Chain A
Amino acid sequence: MKLFQNLFDATRPAVTTGSLKGLFPLHNALETMFFVPNHNAHSGAHVRDAIDMKRTMITVIFALVPALLFGMFNAGYQHYRALGLVGGGELLAEFFTIQNFLFGALRIVPMITVTYIAGLAIEIYFAYRNKHAVNEGFLVSGILIPLIMPIDIPLWMVAVSTAFAVLFGKEVFGGTGMNVLNPALTARAFAFFAYPTYMSGDKIWINTAPEQGAQVVDGFSGATALGQLATTGQTSYSAWDAFWGFVPGSIGETSTFAILIGAVFLIYTGVGSWKIMLSTVLGGLTMGLIFNAAAGSLEPGAMKSYMELPYYQHLMFGGFAFGAVFMATDPVSAAHTERGKWIYGFLVGILSILIRVFNPAYPEGVMLAILLMNVFAPLIDHYVVEANISKRLKRLKLQQS
């Protein structure tokens, strides 16, 4: 402890007045990470809540840990299952193995590292350029971005997508707190449209590199449940598999259960908005019910059987749960007013399922639904604020009459 403090003290003159001035934001970011500074309240209220932006962000990261760890196991499990090296035995015993975990960790940890390096380098540059401290928002984005990527995406694509998201999703708007779009989803949308062969289809969700002399087993399909549903209207995965997460998909999105643990943590700590999560789920359920009801009038076929998917199962497949809990709730890009959050979340839910079922080009609709609603969130807020304003005007008129 003393050692670090001495180190920071010794290097401070160089970055404040010396030749390394450009490194001050980096120095400051590291120092405030090691030691919460001894700033005292100097204007206004003399006591302050012990929460700060760093603690808020680390709380979100804690909430992501179950999904992250599960994703590591699942990456390995899907890989070895595709090669026929596991499967057929006791599921849990075959799933939670060191082998699976290491397989996943060895691919996911480099992705996280690359994301942080690419993103933080840009953040620190802009902190230096605009003379402010490094904001902590990217600590969360840096974990979120790998979790919504397929396991086999090349690292350089992760880096380019991250750089694009930070630059054009955030810094051009003025940095943390000013962005319109969710930065993590911007990264994914960029990758999705720039490198479609690495981001969609039925070959990319599972690593199928031959190993231990084993090849991909005959009759193997790497399609996700939603991919299957979009083409045939049927899926080979059960709803329970999807709930627990033993299915292919983006790294962090598969286990609804692990995401639920994170959701409970976020809601309980008060960091995530339960209003957005609940209204998103309600929106998804509503759209699912509408499809169920409408399916009866359709000609038999893939679309009819897709629409007949029980409404609640939409919550378990694909990225719906991950989007509802970790993406839609991003406080900066979501609606800011409490009433607006209900409307925003509900529409995210509706649109997610609508795009998912109706648009064959995008087997998953959550990403685009949230990005679209990010764009509309200020409009929702505008009307909520206008309602408050018109209430005040009405009161004035009442007084004058």
Chain B
Amino acid sequence: MLNNHLFEPGLVYICPEILAVMPNVHSVRNGLDLPILGAPEAIVDGHLSTSVYAVRPSDFRGLAPKLAVKEGDRVLAGDILFTDKANPQIAIASPVSGEVARIERGDKRKILAVVVLADAQQSYRSVPAGTPANREDAIQWLLGAGAWSLIESRPYGRIANPEAQPKAVFVNGMATEPLAVSPAVALAGREEDFAKGLQVVGLLSPRTVLSIGANETAPALTKASGVEIHQFKGPHPAGTTSVHINRISPINKGETVWTLNYQDVVIIGHLARTGNLKLERVVSLCGTGISKPRAVTAVAGAQLEGFLSTELKSGAYRVISGSVLTGANVGKNGYLGYYASQITAIPEGQGTDFFGWVIPSFGKWSISRTLFSWMTPSKKYDLNTKQHGEDRAFVVTGVYDKVFPLDILPMPLIKAMWAKDLEKMEQLGAYEVVAEDFALCEVVCPSKQELQKLAGEAIDLLYTEMN
């Protein structure tokens, strides 16, 4: 694997041994680490235990669910709950064993969630343990185990098509989203699974890239074998896969890249070691609404209600499955997302601000210097969900560029997305982005435009037109 990138243009030849200890370091200048309070303590303490789990089709972009179970069915952890109508190979597995309690439906009988009541003693649909022999085996083995949903594909940011031939697999070993748990903490004690998982993932494409933080100390990451290691430093989104791909091997039209998060690799490694699909992650329990912010372990789809009753402070808090940038507002009765590795609780904004647009106020945060937050650059804020203003037309320019490090012009791309001009989108780099890449632009936008929604819909449209 290492030899591959010696042929990258512009890279001076250094002997592979030196390269192995001196990985590529990429600096990201444009970006923003949100100054938000409620960071988790760097320990894994506790488990989110509940007996109710739900898998929501909305967690899987572009997936039209076709149910494989009905109410009252017994399922094992790893059994398929529903498949994608467009591609039945893409199947979503139950995170737990138990009984399908109900199928929640919305308007036009749209499936909102498949709710499973978990057994006290978990049993798994076992697949053969051990590392598959080759690429074909690995894909069939992952599909058979119900673990295929862990592999995402770019462009479009959807579950990968097993038939595709990706040019590379990018494993993200970073977590720069606000209030995330550091990979070193989450990987402690799971090093063996991670290494095993990397072996399996390494079979999927000719090139496997592992991106890690420049200050990473965990040997599981820095000394990972069989992969090409790249280090990234700088503010968020330095730790997002889009940035990694853009810097290392940007996606051209017609190319495919598969992506995974390091925790997904752990799950695959555990599967290879034991034969059991255990959809458990280390989850950051964070935000100022949490009485003791820290990391806990949690299984995908877990109901939050009972657990949060002791963890959540009293008051009006928004409970987010995921980070404040890209997570979903699930409410305190909601469920943890299928891929989520954060549970964030931040105060809901309340009340109006009397002349709030002109009165100088010290408690508010802005990336601009129009308020006073620039005087205290290291101060952190109890940020709430207030929008601080109303939707307006695009007026100010150059703001998005400050937080958008991809080699893409954000404003022209957003305008092409708005106009649904697919050709322009393609030319401006729509294959290289997912909706989440616009989260920071959305945060700093003075016109309060809903950019993630806009980008998500435009990229979905591009997918529909191209496939």
Q: Do A and B bind each other?
A: yes
Q: List chain A positions with a Cβ less than 8 A from chain B.
A: 1, 4-5, 32-41, 43-56, 58-59, 133, 135-137, 175-178, 268-271, 273, 331-332, 334, 336-338, 341, 381, 384-385, 388-389, 391-393, 395-396, 399
Please indicate the chain A residues that have their CB under 8 angstroms from the CB of B34 in the complex.
47
Please indicate the chain B residues that have their CB under 8 angstroms from the CB of A332 in the complex.
395
Please indicate the chain B residues that have their CB under 8 angstroms from the CB of A46 in the complex.
318, 320, 324-325, 327, 329, 344, 346, 385
In the docked arrangement, what's the CA distance between A223 and B411, Å?
45
**Contact across chains for A177 and B395 when beta carbons are under 8 A apart:** yes
- B interface majority secondary structure: loop
Please indicate the chain A residues that have their CB under 8 angstroms from the CB of B443 in the complex.
45, 47-49
- Choice from B318, B325, B394, B396 contacting A56 with Cβ under 8 Å: B396
**Contact across chains for B252 and A52 when beta carbons are under 8 A apart:** no
Q: How far is the CB of A358 from chain B (nearest CB, A)?
A: 32
In the docked arrangement, what's the CA distance between A337 and B451, Å?
18
In the docked arrangement, what's the CA distance between A302 and B357, Å?
52
In the docked arrangement, what's the CA distance between A58 and B253, Å?
44
Which residue of chain A has its CB nearest to the CB of B252? A396
Which residue of chain A has its CB nearest to the CB of B409? A388
**Is B428 interfacial (CB 8 A cutoff)?**
yes
Please indicate the chain A residues that have their CB under 8 angstroms from the CB of B394 in the complex.
177
**Contact across chains for B348 and A40 when beta carbons are under 8 A apart:** yes
**Contact across chains for A175 and B409 when beta carbons are under 8 A apart:** no
Please indicate the chain A residues that have their CB under 8 angstroms from the CB of B407 in the complex.
391
**Contact across chains for B396 and A54 when beta carbons are under 8 A apart:** no
17 contacts between A and B (CB under 8 A): A33-B355, A36-B355, A40-B318, A40-B386, A44-B453, A45-B439, A47-B324, A48-B443, A49-B443, A52-B446, A53-B389, A58-B358, A176-B392, A271-B370, A381-B412, A389-B428, A396-B252
Known: A40-B348, A44-B452. A385 touches B428 (CB 8 A): yes
Please indicate the chain B residues that have their CB under 8 angstroms from the CB of A393 in the complex.
427
**Per-position binary interface string of chain B over residues 337-364, scored 1 when its CB falls under 8 Å from any chain A CB and 0 otherwise:** 0000000101011111111111001001
In the docked arrangement, what's the CA distance between A398 and B457, Å?
31
Ranked nearest first, the 5 interchain pairs of A and B with the lowest CB-CB distance are A52-B389, A177-B393, A36-B356, A54-B357, A35-B352
**Is B140 interfacial (CB 8 A cutoff)?**
no
In the docked arrangement, what's the CA distance between A178 and B419, Å?
14
**Contact across chains for A40 and B411 when beta carbons are under 8 A apart:** no
**Per-position binary interface string of chain B over residues 438-467, scored 1 when its CB falls under 8 Å from any chain A CB and 0 otherwise:** 111011111110111100000000000000
In the docked arrangement, what's the CA distance between A328 and B124, Å?
67
In the docked arrangement, what's the CA distance between A133 and B447, Å?
12
**Contact across chains for B386 and A41 when beta carbons are under 8 A apart:** yes
Please indicate the chain A residues that have their CB under 8 angstroms from the CB of B326 in the complex.
44-45
Other than A46-B329, A135-B395, A269-B368, give 13 A-B pairs with Cβ distance below 8 A: A33-B357, A44-B453, A46-B344, A46-B385, A47-B34, A49-B445, A55-B370, A176-B392, A338-B398, A388-B408, A388-B409, A391-B407, A395-B252
**Is B367 interfacial (CB 8 A cutoff)?**
yes
Which residue of chain B has its CB nearest to the CB of A337? B409
- Choice from A59, A334, A385, A391 contacting B370 with Cβ under 8 Å: A59
Which residue of chain B has its CB nearest to the CB of A53? B392
Q: List chain B positions with a Cβ less than 8 A from chain A.
A: 34, 36, 250, 252-253, 255, 318, 320, 324-327, 329, 344, 346, 348-358, 361, 364-371, 373, 383-398, 401, 407-409, 411-412, 427-429, 438-440, 442-448, 450-453
**Contact across chains for A55 and B397 when beta carbons are under 8 A apart:** no
Please indicate the chain A residues that have their CB under 8 angstroms from the CB of B388 in the complex.
36, 48-52
**Contact across chains for A44 and B439 when beta carbons are under 8 A apart:** yes
Please indicate the chain A residues that have their CB under 8 angstroms from the CB of B447 in the complex.
53, 177
Q: How far is the CB of B15 from chain A (nearest CB, A)?
A: 26
**Contact across chains for A47 and B393 when beta carbons are under 8 A apart:** no
**Contact across chains for A178 and B255 when beta carbons are under 8 A apart:** no
Which residue of chain B has its CB nearest to the CB of A1? B354
**Contact across chains for A40 and B387 when beta carbons are under 8 A apart:** yes
**Contact across chains for B252 and A271 when beta carbons are under 8 A apart:** no
In the docked arrangement, what's the CA distance between A177 and B396, Å?
9
Please indicate the chain B residues that have their CB under 8 angstroms from the CB of A337 in the complex.
397, 409, 411-412
Q: How far is the CB of B108 from chain A (nearest CB, A)?
A: 21
In the docked arrangement, what's the CA distance between A49 and B451, Å?
14
In the docked arrangement, what's the CA distance between A41 and B446, Å?
13
Which residue of chain B has its CB nearest to the CB of A35? B352
**Contact across chains for A385 and B352 when beta carbons are under 8 A apart:** no
Q: How far is the CB of B387 from chain A (nearest CB, A)?
A: 4
Please indicate the chain A residues that have their CB under 8 angstroms from the CB of B324 in the complex.
45-47
In the docked arrangement, what's the CA distance between A50 and B360, Å?
11
Which residue of chain B has its CB nearest to the CB of A388? B409
**Contact across chains for B408 and A49 when beta carbons are under 8 A apart:** no
Please indicate the chain A residues that have their CB under 8 angstroms from the CB of B408 in the complex.
388
In the docked arrangement, what's the CA distance between A4 and B358, Å?
17
In the docked arrangement, what's the CA distance between A53 and B365, Å?
15
Which residue of chain B has its CB nearest to the CB of A32? B390
Q: How far is the CB of B322 from chain A (nearest CB, A)?
A: 9
**Contact across chains for A35 and B353 when beta carbons are under 8 A apart:** yes
In the docked arrangement, what's the CA distance between A395 and B352, Å?
50
Please indicate the chain A residues that have their CB under 8 angstroms from the CB of B366 in the complex.
49-51
Please indicate the chain A residues that have their CB under 8 angstroms from the CB of B255 in the complex.
399
**Contact across chains for A38 and B349 when beta carbons are under 8 A apart:** yes
**Contact across chains for B450 and A389 when beta carbons are under 8 A apart:** no
Please indicate the chain A residues that have their CB under 8 angstroms from the CB of B387 in the complex.
39-41, 48
- Choice from B352, B357, B428, B438 contacting A388 with Cβ under 8 Å: B428
In the docked arrangement, what's the CA distance between A41 and B349, Å?
9
Which residue of chain B has its CB nearest to the CB of A5? B352
**Contact across chains for B253 and A396 when beta carbons are under 8 A apart:** yes
**Contact across chains for A336 and B397 when beta carbons are under 8 A apart:** yes
